[in-house]
Amino acid sequence: MRIAELSQATGVPVPTIKYYLREGLLRPGERTAVNQARYGEGHVRRLRLIRVLREVADLSVARIGEILAAVDDESLSLHQVLGVAHAALEPRPADEDDQLAEARREVDSFLDRLGWAVSPDAPARRSLAQTLVRLRTLGQDVGPQALDVYAEAADTVAAWELDHLDAAGGDRERRVERAVVGTVVYEAAFAALRRLAQEHHSARRFGGRWTS
Amino acid sequence: MRIAELSQATGVPVPTIKYYLREGLLRPGERTAVNQARYGEGHVRRLRLIRVLREVADLSVARIGEILAAVDDESLSLHQVLGVAHAALEPRPADEDDQLAEARREVDSFLDRLGWAVSPDAPARRSLAQTLVRLRTLGQDVGPQALDVYAEAADTVAAWELDHLDAAGGDRERRVERAVVGTVVYEAAFAALRRLAQEHHSARRFGGRWTS
């Protein structure tokens, strides 16, 4: 298909497609004339993936480039592609202060206690520590009990996800794509379900009108 | 305290504090001279809350204003403030198309089946439907089984959260603040824990190096 048809099939405007081509997020089409190229189903899928990463995770083109490079690098295992995706999803570290360093130590010993196999430099360790600092700044101290509830739910969900990913099969590209999409999109799905469940439990306890 | 001390206590720069004052996110201090005002602990708490809403949920000043107006409106119950916060957290609706309308119907009957008490216009209904559409665009069809796993985890977490909110007590302002912060910040905490659990289960299944 031509670039105009590619645009129609994906909802991505032609100038944006050209930008992605220049930035290397999208492989060049097969050249058919000096000023014309042909694109295929692979381009459609790639554009849809880029769109979701932009819209759901609000990632920069540079971060999306990091994920796609990992998706395309056949020397990386699914496990490693998931690691690259996680790193791209985390905010870049700001300066560490004492409060954050202390929270990181707490997160480390919490994960040790859970017995989770998590690499020492996993970016989500820092992210969780940052969350603890934020809650404390707001005067809410988070005890181990609160984290236990979330950790157990996260463990159940992640175990199911990885089982599912493993069982779904397909070629390498499909599998790693599914892993990346799962991390990003299901995070949004869970957030929506949590809000719905909050409304349900809030209605049961406090009742009354929800939206104003 | 003076504005410079308020800035020091919260890490929010003076020009930003002045901007929040102009936008009405922060109540004026007590005037002590023509060009000077005194601020108190209430201002510190409010600024910290604004900072978290900006940093964690990346909310605009307008959206934060909506939440704070609800926090300050003593005629609203905790349940209603939570509803306003949820609405502010959702992206503003884009155009509906047939695919989204179909997904919304599926979400509605899914929630009916769960028996959750969720208002028909809850914004998270739309958000969840949008997620289903995105997954389908990427060729991943989401069956009821997948949603069940997430819904059960969300239900457990939300039930615990509302119990906790109810039991923690405190005055109205503290309680509604805690509700807003809980919705926003614990979403980030859960996301971090889910990624850590994903790494753990991915390591068990696929093994090898995580970060590159």
Cross-chain residue pair B79–A48, CB shorter than 8 Å: no
Give residue B95's pLDDT: 64
* Distance separating alpha carbons of residues B53 and B59, to the nearest angstrom: 6
Residue B157 banded pLDDT, cuts 50, 70, 90: very high
Note the pLDDT of residue B144.
66
Give percent above pLDDT 70 in chain B: 94
Q: Nearest 5 degrees, angle CA A167-CA B148-CA A155?
A: 65
What residue type is B180 in one-letter code? V
The residue among B150, B80, B84 whose CA lies nearest residue B111 is B150
A185·B86 Cβ contact <8 A: no
- Flag whether pLDDT at B123 surpasses 60: yes
Residue A144 pLDDT: 66
The values of phi and psi at residue B38, to 5°, are -110, 135
Q: What is the mean pLDDT of residues B144-163?
A: 88
User: A1: pLDDT confidence band, cut at 50, 70 and 90?
Assistant: very high
| Alpha-carbon distances of B164 from A124, B38, B182, rounded to whole Å | 25, 35, 10
- Beta-carbon separation of A187 and B191 below 8 A: yes
In terms of CA atoms, which chain B residue is nearest residue A211? Answer: B83
Residue A77 has pLDDT above 60, yes or no: yes
Interchain proximity A193–B128, CB inside 8 Å: yes
Q: Please state, rounded to an integer, the average pLDDT across all residues of chain B.
A: 86
Rounded distance, CA B198 to CA A61, Å? 25
Closest CA to A46 of A24, A74, A22: A24
Q: Residue B140: its pLDDT value, please?
A: 77
With 0-12 CB in 10 A as exposed, 13-18 as middle and 19+ as buried, what is A75?
A: exposed
Q: Read off φ and ψ for residue B185, nearest 5 degrees.
A: -75, -40
User: How would residue B188 be classed by pLDDT, with cut points 50, 70 and 90?
Assistant: confident
Q: Contact, A70 vs A79, CB < 8 A?
A: no
A57-66, B9-18, B58-67 — most confident range = B9-18
Task: Report the pLDDT value the prediction gives residue A209, as an integer from 0 to 100.
Answer: 64
| Cα diameter, chain A | 68
Q: Are B212 and A156 an interchain contact pair (Cβ–Cβ within 8 Å)?
A: no
Among B119, B160, B198, beta carbon nearest to A210: B119
Calculated CA dihedral for residues A175, A179, A182, A183, nearest 10 degrees:
-170
Q: Which residue, among A37, A193, A154, has the nearest Cα to B118 in the 3D structure?
A: A193
Cβ separation B211–A128 shorter than 8 A: no
Closest Cα in chain A to B198? A158
> Which of A135, A162, A203 is closest, CB to CB, to B79?
A203
Residue where the block lists tokens 């020009």: B15
Q: Mind telling me how many Å the CA of A34 is from chain B's nearest CA?
A: 32
Query: Which among A45, A78, A196 is the nearest to B124, CB-wise?
Result: A196
**Which of B80, B124, B161 lies closest to A192 in CB terms?**
B124
Tokens of A92: 């870049």
Residue A193 structure tokens: 């379900």
Q: Which secondary structure element, helix H or strand E, spans residue A183, and what is its range?
A: helix A172-206
CA separation (Å) from B209 to A83, A201, B43, B212? 9, 41, 47, 7
Q: What is the 3-state secondary structure (H, E, C) of chain B?
A: CCHHHHHHHHCCCHHHHHHHHHHCCCCCCEEEECCEEECCHHHHHHHHHHHHHHHHHCCCHHHHHHHHHHHHCCCCCHHHHHHHHHHHHCCCCCCCCHHHHHHHHHHHHHHHHHCCCCCCCCHHHHHHHHHHHHHHHCCCCCCHHHHHHHHHHHHHHHHHHHHHHHHHCCCHHHHHHHHHHHHHHHHHHHHHHHHHHHHHHHHHHHCCCCCC
Q: Which residues of A touch B134 (CB under 8 A)?
A: 52, 55-56, 185
> What SS3 class is residue A121?
coil
Of B49, B156, B162, the CB nearest to A153: B156
pLDDT of res. B212:
47
Q: What is the mean pLDDT of chain A?
A: 85
**pLDDT at residue A117, rounded to an integer:** 86
Contact (CB<8Å) A118/B199 = yes
Q: Answer yes or no: do B124 and A166 touch at CB < 8 A.
A: no
Conformation bin of residue B160: beta by default, left when phi > 0, alpha when psi is -120 to 50: alpha
Q: Is the pLDDT of residue A61 over 70?
A: yes
Structure tokens at B154: 């969300």
* Cβ-defined contact of A138 to B80 (cutoff 8 Å): no
ipTM, two decimals: 0.79
**pLDDT tens column, A143-157:** 667 789 999 999 999
Query: Which residue is closest to A194 within chain B, CA to CA?
Result: B154
Which residues face B30 on adjacent strands?
B38
